[in-house]
Amino acid sequence: MKKHLVEGSFNAFILPTKIILRSENKITMMVPSRMHMDFIKAQYSKVAVEILNELLSDDKSEIKYLIDPDTNFELGNEEESKTVFVHNSENAEVPKTEGLETQNIAKYKKTKLNPKYTFDNFIQGDGNEIAYASAFQVAKNPKNSPYNPILIYGGVGLGKTHLVQAIGNKIFNDTKMNSVLYLKSDQFVNDIVNSIKDKTIDKYKDFLKEKDVIIIDDIQFFARREKSQEEFFHIFESIYQNDGIIILTSDFHPKEIHDLDERLISRFLMGLITDVRPPDLETRAAIIKLKSEELGFDLNDEITMYIANNINTNVRELEGAVRTLHSNYTLNQNESLTIQKAKDVLRGLISQKKVTLNIDKIQDIVSDYFQIKKDLLMSKTRTKEVADARAIAMYLCTTQLNSTTQSIGAHFGGRDHSTVSHAAKKIQELLNEKDPEISKIYDDILHTINLLTY
């Protein structure tokens, strides 16, 4: 674009934008405000699409715009500053679509959805495959949703909000069923409490009943609130009877949520209940790649694997690590990023999580998993099982701790550091080759470590 624009315009309008996603011939451009978007669309979209066509050797490329909610403060009003997705393509005539778009934008705002959550930018992998597939089924076929209600449960930062919002966004974009509403459960409780107080609860119920799709996030929050649960039960019934789709998330399986009304539990059981679990190594690496691509930031494989090996609790933290590296990189005038520098920058983030983990604990967890005596890890026994357990334990010590191979060797019956490196290398190779047995063992053990060392 720089070639086509005078410098001032380029600096003011193009420089602050970012390409955050590319899928085939569509790119998504994040712009700082609606003003930027309107201006770029009016003045430069044609030339931008032409350039894109040329770069992608395609004649139908498209640009989508995403307004960054963090910088779009134009109206100083929270409602108005919600992100909006607007579609634009070379042949869309601006005047014709203008009216429609404004109408759509208004409708979209009412959904309270965030457009940055889509199926396209969600990495499928071990841990979320079923949740993803079921969510996608519902979104693809909302008229005859195979699962109603659908409830996704699981730990913090594992993509529940992302998935349920992706359902809402897809239904809004692809179908005429665009009366979608996303509610966080505390908002929902507030609305109920207030409407009871103002004696407008019937009106509130009518408002909800008309929705095609209603998404309530983190329902565990209203578990102990009897009145809200009671109202929710009736609201649930009427939405359900009106063929509305109900989408829910919670931190635990409904049966394990304390004080959740039995009637609600049995309603939830009529639909689909599915979970999200922490992603495995490969999925984590793919997420890191995606998140860095979204920032237009290239992380090499070594750094990607370092993050994937060391941050394994939740995806939000993976994202945090990528952001931390990225801001450090931009602050340092884009000086090239080495693995050593990445380790330094991430030290706080990683060691903080590792305070409770040590060699001894890894040995406990591994021997427990293999159901062998811990002493065997230190012994000279070489049966396959013990040798595997020992090698995995050594690998975990090298990747999860900041210990040296010397000290790890010392804790494994005084073995030499080269034995540790050799064993660790072997396991890394098996994981790279996706050896099914070792990969499964590794993921299971890592999962236990995550549970025990949070």
Count residues near Mg ion (CB under 5 A): 2
- Report, in Å, the least distance between residue 314 CB and ligand ADP: 7
CA dist 364 and 393 (Å) reads: 9
The least distance separating ligand ADP from the CB of residue 163, rounded to whole angstroms, comes to 7
Answer whether 325's CB lies under 8 Å from 346's CB.
yes
Residue 157 interacting partner from ligand ADP, Mg ion, none (CB closer than 5 to 8 Å by kind): ligand ADP
- Burial of residue 33 (number of CB atoms within 10 Å: 0-12, 13-18, 19+): middle
For the bound state, the minimum distance from the C-beta of residue 296 to ligand ADP, rounded and expressed in Å, comes to 17
Which residue is listed with tokens 């207030």? 194
**DSSP structure class, residue 219:** G
CB 341, min distance to ligand ADP, A: 25
156 binds, among Mg ion, ligand ADP, none (CB under 5 to 8 A by kind): ligand ADP
Look at the block and give the residue holding tokens 């790119």.
Answer: 27
Tell me the closest approach of the beta carbon of residue 112 to ligand ADP, in angstroms: 15
Choose the one of ligand ADP, Mg ion, none that binds residue 317, judging by a C-beta under 5 to 8 angstroms depending on kind.
none
Out of Mg ion, ligand ADP, none, what residue 196 binds, judged by CB under 5 to 8 A for its kind, is: none
Minimum distance, C-beta of residue 106 to Mg ion, in the bound complex (Å): 26
Pairing type for strands 180-184 and 213-217 reads parallel
161 vs 274, which CB is nearer to Mg ion?
A: 161
Q: ω before 149 within 30° of 0 (cis)? A: yes
72 vs 313, which CB is nearer to ligand ADP? 313
d(CA 2, CA 140): 40
Interface contacts to ligand ADP, rule CB under 6 A:
122-123, 128, 156-162, 287, 290, 315-316, 319
One character per residue 407-446, x = contact with Mg ion (rule: CB under 5 A): ----------------------------------------
Q: Residue 128 binds which entry of ligand ADP, Mg ion, none, with Cβ cut-offs from 5 to 8 Å by kind?
A: ligand ADP
Q: How far is the CB of 445 from ligand ADP (least distance, A)?
A: 21
In the chain, how long is the greatest CA-to-CA distance?
79
Q: Which does 122 bind (CB under 5 to 8 A by kind): ligand ADP, Mg ion, none?
A: ligand ADP
Which of residues 153 and 395 has its CB atom nearest to Mg ion in the complex? Answer: 153
Answer with the entry of Mg ion, ligand ADP, none that 12 interacts with (C-beta below 5 to 8 A by kind).
none
Which of these ranges, 152-160, 235-243, 320-328, 416-424, lies near Mg ion under the rule CB under 5 A? 152-160
Type of residue found at 194: N
Q: Residues with Cβ < 8 Å from 79, sequence gap 6 or more? A: 109
CB atoms within 10 A of CB 141: 13
Task: Pick the stretch among 98-106, 155-163, 222-230, 320-328 that binds Mg ion (CB under 5 A).
Answer: 155-163
Quick check: 114 binds Mg ion (CB under 5 A)? no
- Is residue 160 within 8 A of residue 185, CB to CB? The reply is no
CA-only gyration radius of the chain, Å: 26
Return the C-alpha torsion angle 168, 169, 171, 174, nearest 10.
180
Strand blocks (E) in 128-173: 150-154
Helices 185-197 + 226-241 axis angle, to 10: 100
Minimum CB separation from ligand ADP for residue 230, in Å?
A: 26
Tell me: does residue 161 bind Mg ion (CB under 5 A): yes
Choose from Mg ion, ligand ADP, none: what does 284 bind? Cβ within 5-8 Å by kind. Answer: none
Map residue 397 onto helix, strand or coil. Answer: helix
Q: Any bridge partners for residue 28, and if so which? A: 21, 64
The residues that touch Mg ion, with contacts defined as CB under 5 A, are 160-161
